[in-house]
Chain A
Amino acid sequence: MRVAIIVFPGSNCDRDMMVAVETLTGRRPALIWHKQTNLDPVDLAIIPGGFSFGDYLRCGALAAHAPIMNALHDHAARGGAILGVCNGFQILSEAGMLPGYLARNKELKFVCKQTTLSVSSDTSCELIKSLDNSEKLHIPVAHNEGNFFADPETLDAIESNGQVVLRYGNEDKQNSGNPNGSLNDIAGICSSNGKILGMMPHPERAMGAGHESADGKKLLQSIFEAIVT
C-alpha cells in the first residue's frame, strides 16, 4: 500500500502519523513537502494535524492554496482516498473538498481531551466500512477550531447522504460529550463519494502501547483494509 503524508510548514503531527502508518502497514509512508507539485500515484493521501503556516489567518486558508494542492485535487478527482486529521480536516474544508467549515470552539479556548465517538450507523464513508459501528471509540482531540458549521441546506444534505461519519458522545443523545460546540455533534464527515474523510480527533494518538486508548489504531486499520479490498 502506498501512503503519502503531505507536510506543510507548521504541520506538527506528520511524524506521529508516519509512525502510526508504519506500525500498521509495515511500510514507511512518503512525506510530501507542500512545495512539490506532483503526487505520485498513491492509495491514500493523509493531511496531518498542526498549524499550517501558523494558521494566523483562517485555519487551513493558506495551505489550501499550496503548490501540492492541485495534485491532491487530481487525486480526489480520480476517486483517490484522502484522510485529513484536525488541521488536515480544516485544510480539506478550505480547499472545498469537504462541505462546511470548522469554526472557533464554542468556549473560545483550545481543548485537549479524550473524547467518546459514535460511528454513524448510516454512514456512506467508504473508508471505514469494516469498522464496527456498535462500539464507541475513544480518541482524543486537540484543537482551537473544531466547531463544525454548515448552512441548514448543506447540513441537511450531509445528514441525508450519510456523510456524517463520527459524532461526539452517544449518537442518540445530543450534546453528550461535544467538546467544541459542533453542529449535530459532528466530529468527522466524508465527501459525497465517501472517499475523503475529515475528522477532528487524532487517531494517531490512540494507538495503544502507552496511549490511553487503542481505538485510533482500529479506525486507521479499517481505512487500510478498505483500501486494500
Chain B
Amino acid sequence: MSVPTKMGFENAASMGLSKEEWERVCTHLGRLPNLCELGIFSAMWSEHCSYKSSKKWLKTLPTQGERVIQGPGENAGVVDIGDGLAVVFKIESHNHPSFIEPYQGAATGVGGILRDVFTMGARPIALLNALRFGEIDHEKTPHLVSGVTAGIGGYGNCIGIPTVGGEVEFDASYNGNILVNAMAVGLAHSDRIFYSAASGAGNPVIYVGAKTGRDGIHGATMASTEFSDETESKRPTVQVGDPFTGKLLMEACLELMAADAVVAIQDMGAAGLTSSSVEMAAKGGLGMEIDLDLVPVRETKMSAYEIMLSESQERMLMVIDPSQAEIARQIFNKWDLDFMPIGQVTETDRLILLKEGEVACDIPLAPLVDDAPEYDRPHSTPEIPEEVPAHTLIQDISISAALKNLIGSEDLCSRRWIYEQYDSHVMADTIIGPGGDCALTRVYGTNKALALTTDCTPRYVEADPYNGGKQAVVEAYRNIIAAGATPLAVTNNLNFGNPEKPEIMAQLVHSVTGMKDACAFLSTPVVSGNVSLYNETDGNAIKPCPVIGMVGLIDDWQNAGTIALPPDAALFIIGQDATTNTGWLSNSIYAKSLAQHVGGAPPPIDLEAELRTGSFILSCYENKLVQAAHDISDGGMLVALAEMMLAGNQGASITLPDTLDTHSWCFAENQSSYIIATNNPDQLIRNAEHAHIPLLHLGKSNSNQELKISNGDLISLEEIRNSYETGLRSRLEK
C-alpha cells in the first residue's frame, strides 16, 4: 500500500497524544502512521471521545432500572414511559467553542444534542440548558450571555423544538471559561429504537445531510486542552450551525426510520466522519471501507485528513438495507438533502479509506476502540471546610431588605431576559415553561407529561465534592417532585478543570461518587451523559460543575403542580419543623451575596429524608392536598416563598418560631424541604404526623399585595417584583 508522509512523535504531541499513546499507535499499526491515521487515533483517543480520565469512575454509576431500555454508550439514553412509548434524552457540553464564538458555539451545541436524540429514532420535544458565565460585571459577560442566548434560541427556535427550562449562574471562576451544556429530550416508540452498531457485510454506508467543509477540524482535540491567551486563534475550529438543514435532516431521518430502511445510524458529532464510522463498525464487530472521493464536500482539494476530522454540522452516517435504497433516496430527494453511498460494511475488522484510488488509511478497528487509553489518574483527598457559624454571617438589616437584595442579585433574580429569547411553546405541548421548579411537557396525543430539570450548585461541589455531587441529584429530584411527577432517570454533564491535577481529579472522583450514591438511593439511574475536562484558562480551573438533567413522569398533566400561590391557602414547610431546622447559612447565597463570605461547608444531605419527604409530597398530590408547591434551595425558604408569590401574584403573612434567628429561618439552605400551599391544612397535618414527616405551619396566602412577617416586617409585592425582574436586565444592558 502507499502511505504518503510518515508522522513522528512531534506530530502526535501537537495533536494531544502522549509519548506512551504514540507508541501504542505505532505498535497497533506495526508501522508509522500517516497524517490521516494519526488524526483518527488522536481524535478517538482524545479526552472528549475516549473518556480516558473519567471512564473508571463513570463505570461506577448505577445505569440499570426497570424502565431503562438503553443506558450509556449509545447516542442517548432511553427510558420506558409506558403505553409503548419511551423518552430519549441526553445532555452535552459545548463549552470551549461557546467561549470562542458564543453564537455558533451554543447553536451547534443545541444542534449536536438534537441529532443525538433523533438518531435514536425519537422526535425531539424539548430542550433545556445549564449555563455558567463569569462575573456579571466582567467586561466579557454581557457579550457572552447575549451571544450564547441568541445561539441557543437561533437553533432551537428555527428547528422548532421548544427550550423549556434550564439554569444560569454567574461566577468569577468562569470568567475565562464559560459552560454551555444543552439537553435534548425526545419521544420514541419503545420497540422502534435505532442503534449505531453496523451489521451485514456488504450493506451500503450512506452519507446524508450537509456537505463537508473545513470547519471544526479537530474540534474534539481542542475540547480536550486548556485555554490560553492564544485561544482566539482557534476561532476557525468552531463549527457553524445551520438549523434549517438540521430541521430537514431531522424530518428526513424520522421519515426514513418510519419506512424501516435503516440498519444502523450515527450522527457525525465530535470527530465527525471519524467517530461515526469507527463507532458503527466497531460496535458491530465489523469493518468499513469508505471512498473519500464520494463524500460530498463544499470546498475543493480537501485532504483525507481534513475530510475525516471535519466537524461540519448536520451530517449523518447510515447503514441501510440495500433493498430499501431507492425509497431512502427518494425521501432525501424530497428534503433536498445529499444522499450518497460512500462505502460498505466489510468483514475485515479494519477501517480502510480510499482517496484518489489509493489507500489513505488502513487501521485495525478493535484497538482503536477497545484499547483506547484509560487512566486511573491520581487524586488527592479533598479537605472539607467547617460549617461557617450562622451568627458570623447574619447581617444587621431587616428581613425585607435582605430579601429584596437577594432576589435582585444575579444569583436569584428572574432569568426572563434570557428565556424570553427562546421559543418555549412551539409544538404546543408546553404546560410549564421556564421560571418554575421544572418544566412540564405533555406527551403528544396522551394525558401524560414529562417533568424536566437541570441542576447543579458548583459552590457546594467546590467545598465538598462528595456532598455537592449528591446535592445536584437531590435538588433535581425535589424539582421534579414539587411538580407532582415521579423521577425516572438522569443524564449528567461533568464539567471540571484539568484532570492531570490531583486536586481536580479529586473533585471528579468524589462528586461522581456522591452522584452514584444519590442516584442509587433515589432509584434514578444514569442513562446518558457527557464529560468536559480541561475547563481552565491559564491554569485557573472553573468551579466544578457536575450537572444533573433529570426526567420525571406524571400520568395526567392535569394533576401537575404549580409554584403559583393561590389566595387564602395555608402555607407549610414540609421536611422541617421548629426543632429540625438547623439554620444552615454556611456557603449559602445569603453568605455569598450579603456577607460576602464564600466557602464553608455546604448543607448536609440526608438521602433517607429526601426520599421520605419526596414520597410524602407525591402522596399529598394523590390526596389532592397541594394547591401549589416549591422546593427550598438557593436563597432559602423566604426566596422560595417570594417566587411563589410572584408567580401567583398573591401576598402572604407568615409567623416564624423563635427557635432560630429570623435570618436563619428565612435564608438557610437546609436540604430536603418544600413549601406547600394547601386548602386542607388539617388533613395535611394528620397525614404528615402519620408519615412522621416534620412540618411547620408557616402562615397563609392572601390577595393583599404584600409579604407580612410576624416580627412586624412588611414589603410590598411590587417592590419584590421590581427587584426580581430588573436584576439581570439592568446589569446586562447597561
Contact = CB atoms under 8 A, between A and B. Distances in A.
Given A51-B247, A111-B420, A112-B422, 14 more contacts: A9-B247, A9-B248, A9-B335, A9-B336, A10-B244, A10-B248, A12-B247, A51-B243, A110-B150, A110-B422, A112-B424, A112-B425, A144-B157, A211-B428
B598 interface: no
A10 B428 contact: no
Interface string B398-429: 00000000000000000000011111111111
26 contacts: A9-B336, A12-B247, A12-B426, A13-B426, A51-B157, A51-B160, A54-B244, A54-B247, A55-B158, A56-B244, A109-B421, A110-B153, A110-B154, A110-B422, A111-B420, A112-B421, A140-B425, A142-B157, A142-B423, A142-B426, A205-B426, A205-B428, A207-B428, A210-B429, A210-B442, A210-B558
A204 interface: yes
The residue in A140, A142, A204 that gathers the most chain B C-beta atoms within 10 A of its C-beta is A142
Given A9-B335, A54-B243, A110 B428 contact: no
B431 interface: yes
A16 B150 contact: no
Interface string B433-455: 00000000010000000000000
Given A51-B243, A54-B243, A110-B157, A16 B427 contact: yes
Contact of B428 (A16, A54, A56, A111): A16
Contacts of B244: 9-10, 51, 53-56
Interface in B317-345: 335-336
A49 B419 CA distance: 20
A211 B431 CA distance: 6
A204 B335 CA distance: 26
Contacts of A10: 158, 244, 247-248
Interface of B: 150, 153-154, 157-160, 242-245, 247-248, 335-336, 419-429, 431, 442, 557-558
Contacts of B419: 112
B318 to A, nearest CB: 20
Contacts of A13: 160, 426, 428
Nearest to B161: A12
A50 interface: yes
Contact of A110 (B245, B247, B421): B421
A112 B442 contact: no
A35 to B, nearest CB: 8
Contacts of B557: 210
A113 to B, nearest CB: 5
A16 B426 contact: yes
Contact of A112 (B248, B420, B427, B558): B420
Given A9-B244, A9-B247, A15-B427, A54 B158 contact: yes
A142 B423 CA distance: 6
Contacts of A210: 429, 431, 442, 557-558
Contacts of A113: 420
A202 B423 CA distance: 12
Nearest to A53: B244
B423 A112 contact: yes
A200 to B, nearest CB: 13
A110 B242 contact: no
A210 B554 CA distance: 14
Contacts of B154: 110
Given A12-B159, A12-B247, A110 B427 contact: no
Given A9-B244, A16-B428, A51-B243, A111 B159 contact: no
A226 interface: no
Interface in A48-74: 49-51, 53-56
- Which of B153, B422, B442 counts the most chain A CB atoms within 10 A? B153
A77 to B, nearest CB: 29
A202 B442 CA distance: 18
A19 interface: yes
A75 to B, nearest CB: 24
Nearest to A17: B428
A211 B243 CA distance: 27
Top 4 A-B residue pairs of the complex, sorted by shortest distance between their CB atoms: A12-B160, A54-B244, A16-B428, A51-B158
